[in-house]
Chains A and B, each alone.
Chain A
Amino acid sequence: MSGEVADPTAAAALAQWLRDATRADAVRVTRYARLSGGAIQDNWSLDVEIDGGTLPGAHRYVLRTDAPSTVASSLTRAQEFAVLQVAHAAGVATPAPLLLCTDPRVIGRTFFIMERMGGIAQAHRLTREPALVPDARALVRSLGANLARIHAIRPPRADLDVLPAPAEHPAQAAVAALRVHLDRLEDAYPALEWGLRWCDLHAPREFDVTLVHGDYRTGNYLVDAGRLTGVLDWEFAGWGDPRQDVGWFTARCWRSHGVDLEGGGLASVEPFLEGYASAGGRAVSRDDLTYWQVMAHLRWAVIALQQARRHATGAEHSLELALTGRIVHELEHEALRLMMGVDR
């Protein structure tokens, strides 16, 4: 294994902390390097050799910490760690969470360590390279079943009391939260406003409240040898209407190159819903899909506007952020098409 230690001071502090946390005789950090991806969190690969203690042996970990700039409404690392522990214990395919460190003296910020899983996450590859996904229907089916296992986790739970209490009406609460974000921007967005009004007027009267992942989509899970290994990026998890995750996963804006494939850009929606039902997920109607896909486009548009604003205000000068602002128009357009029933 190629040893690369990007920050020897932090690596030494981590070795010391790991030695104490696992009551080991000795800990050697053989690799500590930033991983790609993550506009909101910093992810580092961390390889260690541990002598004795509770985790002896050579390990490949991911260290996840807060990035300097955070997006409003995302979880802290400590909250995310708690969610990951509950989800992993419930049999959800996700990296095993190992240790949480809230002591800022170690590397300057709170972080946690989790298992590093194999596989590819990039949506643009998974939706364009058939060799990576030889049986797309089977993969999408397992993604549906896996989501149902997340949604089987329901409040109240003492081990998730770090999460904000569930809203009385999740859809209306989502609309209200998006309006708050829109009101912090310079300009007004008529199509997003009309979409939110539509979501308010068509809010479901009946709903379950479960754990929702909040960013369950192609690009946020790992696929190894064509199979799902683990779901990543739990920073938007919380209590909500489970159909929010179904709408997000199936929304056109997350299908990458598989734009006409409603099952995450990989297959039709049917195997996804079959898998979801097979693991206990409640039935999702065509109208439910439309409603939560509209919500998905509105939510992504608001996040994109926040990201664009980070560039526009000079907080973080970035071509990628500037271009993210330019996707808002197609998200608005897609939401309108869905509302008007001219699309799916």
Chain B
Amino acid sequence: MMTDISNGIDLMATARESLLRDVLPALPADRRYVALMIANAMAIATREADAGDPATKGEATTLERLLASVGAAPDDAALATAERLRTLRRAIKDAIRAGRFDVPPHAEALSAGLLETTRAWVAISNPKALRPVAGPPALHRGS
């Protein structure tokens, strides 16, 4: 939607463009690395401002479903999403260590669920690292 004043995401993206276009070329070789790190941090922060909430909610939903499937869902209805996700992550850690996901179909479901949630976070931290998975989700087809 068109607005008169830039929002935070646009400010960050525009500042990053200016850093790369106007500042980076003027830097000595041994300082370029720092400018590129700054540009990378700005890009991550921009993507997180845009996609961080959906990734948090998506992971919470996935973990909740996985925990319910092994009868280990915590009672956390009162918590805000970010804190709820921390609780769910601890619960799934405990369930994994207790062997609750060792056997089919739980093992396959956990692998697929975590692949999906980590993918959402990689899309924020480093989307270039994402590569397509050939064909439909191919679970445990062996190496």
Chain B 103-128, CB within 8 Å of chain A: the 1/0 string? Answer: 00000001110110111011011100
Report 10 cross-chain contacts, Cβ distance below 8 Å, ordered by A residue. Answer: A187-B86, A187-B89, A287-B143, A329-B118, A329-B126, A332-B114, A336-B111, A336-B114, A338-B143, A344-B143
Q: How far is B115's CA from A333's CA once the two chains are assembled, in angstroms?
A: 6
A191 cross-chain contacts in B, Cβ below 8 A: 114, 117-118
B40 cross-chain contacts in A, Cβ below 8 A: 323
Task: From B41, B110, B114, give the contact of A322 (CB < 8 A).
Answer: B41
Task: From A319, A326, A342, give the contact of B38 (CB < 8 A).
Answer: A319
Q: If A189-B89, A326-B125 touch, does A197 touch B102 (CB 8 Å cutoff)?
A: yes
B117 cross-chain contacts in A, Cβ below 8 A: 190-191
- Whether B115 contacts A329 by the Cβ 8 Å rule is no
B2 cross-chain contacts in A, Cβ below 8 A: none
Q: How far is B117's CA from A201's CA once the two chains are assembled, in angstroms?
A: 23
B138 cross-chain contacts in A, Cβ below 8 A: 340-342
Nearest Cβ on chain B to A89's Cβ, whole angstroms: 37
Q: Which of A201, A286, A330, A344 has the most CB of B within 10 A?
A: A330
- Whether B118 contacts A332 by the Cβ 8 Å rule is yes
Binds A, one of B13-21, B72-80, B90-98: B90-98
User: Is residue B133 contacting chain A, with contact meaning CB distance below 8 A?
Assistant: yes
User: Is residue B31 contacting chain A, with contact meaning CB distance below 8 A?
Assistant: no
User: Is residue B142 contacting chain A, with contact meaning CB distance below 8 A?
Assistant: yes
Give the contacts of A305-344 with B (CB-CB under 8 A). Answer: 319-320, 322-323, 326-327, 329-330, 332-334, 336-342, 344
B134 cross-chain contacts in A, Cβ below 8 A: 342
Q: If A197-B102, A323-B40, A323-B41 touch, does A190 touch B92 (CB 8 Å cutoff)?
A: yes
Q: How far is B131's CA from A122's CA once the two chains are assembled, in angstroms?
A: 25
A-B contact count (CB 8 A): 100
Q: If A329-B121, A330-B122, A336-B115 touch, does A194 touch B110 (CB 8 Å cutoff)?
A: yes
User: Is residue A193 contacting chain B, with contact meaning CB distance below 8 A?
Assistant: yes
Q: Which of A189, A322, A329, A338 has the most CB of B within 10 A?
A: A329
Q: How far is B15's CA from A172's CA once the two chains are assembled, in angstroms?
A: 48
Q: How far is B48's CA from A231's CA once the two chains are assembled, in angstroms?
A: 39
Q: A188-B93, A327-B126 are in contact. List 7 more A-B contacts (CB 8 A).
A: A194-B114, A287-B143, A330-B126, A332-B121, A333-B115, A341-B140, A342-B138
- Whether A340 contacts B139 by the Cβ 8 Å rule is yes
Interface pairs A-B: 9 shortest CB-CB: A188-B93, A329-B121, A188-B89, A333-B118, A330-B129, A326-B125, A188-B90, A193-B96, A341-B143
Nearest Cβ on chain A to B44's Cβ, whole angstroms: 6
- Whether B115 contacts A337 by the Cβ 8 Å rule is yes
Nearest Cβ on chain B to A250's Cβ, whole angstroms: 13
Q: How far is B121's CA from A333's CA once the two chains are assembled, in angstroms?
A: 9
Q: How far is B41's CA from A62's CA once the two chains are assembled, in angstroms?
A: 34
- Whether A189 contacts B93 by the Cβ 8 Å rule is yes
The residue of chain B having its C-beta at the shortest distance from the C-beta of A328 within the complex is: B125
User: Is residue A290 contacting chain B, with contact meaning CB distance below 8 A?
Assistant: yes
A189 cross-chain contacts in B, Cβ below 8 A: 89, 93
- Whether A319 contacts B41 by the Cβ 8 Å rule is yes
- Whether A330 contacts B125 by the Cβ 8 Å rule is yes
B5 cross-chain contacts in A, Cβ below 8 A: none
Q: How far is B138's CA from A342's CA once the two chains are assembled, in angstroms?
A: 7
- Whether B37 contacts A339 by the Cβ 8 Å rule is no
- Whether B143 contacts A327 by the Cβ 8 Å rule is no
- Whether A197 contacts B37 by the Cβ 8 Å rule is no
Give the contacts of A48-88 with B (CB-CB under 8 A). Answer: none
Q: If A329-B122, A330-B129 touch, does A320 touch B37 (CB 8 Å cutoff)?
A: yes
Task: From B34, B38, B96, B121, give the contact of A194 (CB < 8 A).
Answer: B96
A332 cross-chain contacts in B, Cβ below 8 A: 114, 118, 121
B114 cross-chain contacts in A, Cβ below 8 A: 190-191, 194, 332, 336
The residue of chain A having its C-beta at the shortest distance from the C-beta of B130 within the complex is: A333
B126 cross-chain contacts in A, Cβ below 8 A: 326-327, 329-330
The residue of chain B having its C-beta at the shortest distance from the C-beta of A285 within the complex is: B143
Nearest Cβ on chain B to A134's Cβ, whole angstroms: 24
Task: From B41, B90, B96, B111, give the contact of A339 (CB < 8 A).
Answer: B111
- Whether A193 contacts B92 by the Cβ 8 Å rule is yes
- Whether B93 contacts A193 by the Cβ 8 Å rule is yes
- Whether A323 contacts B37 by the Cβ 8 Å rule is yes
Q: If A326-B44, A330-B126 touch, does A197 touch B97 (CB 8 Å cutoff)?
A: yes
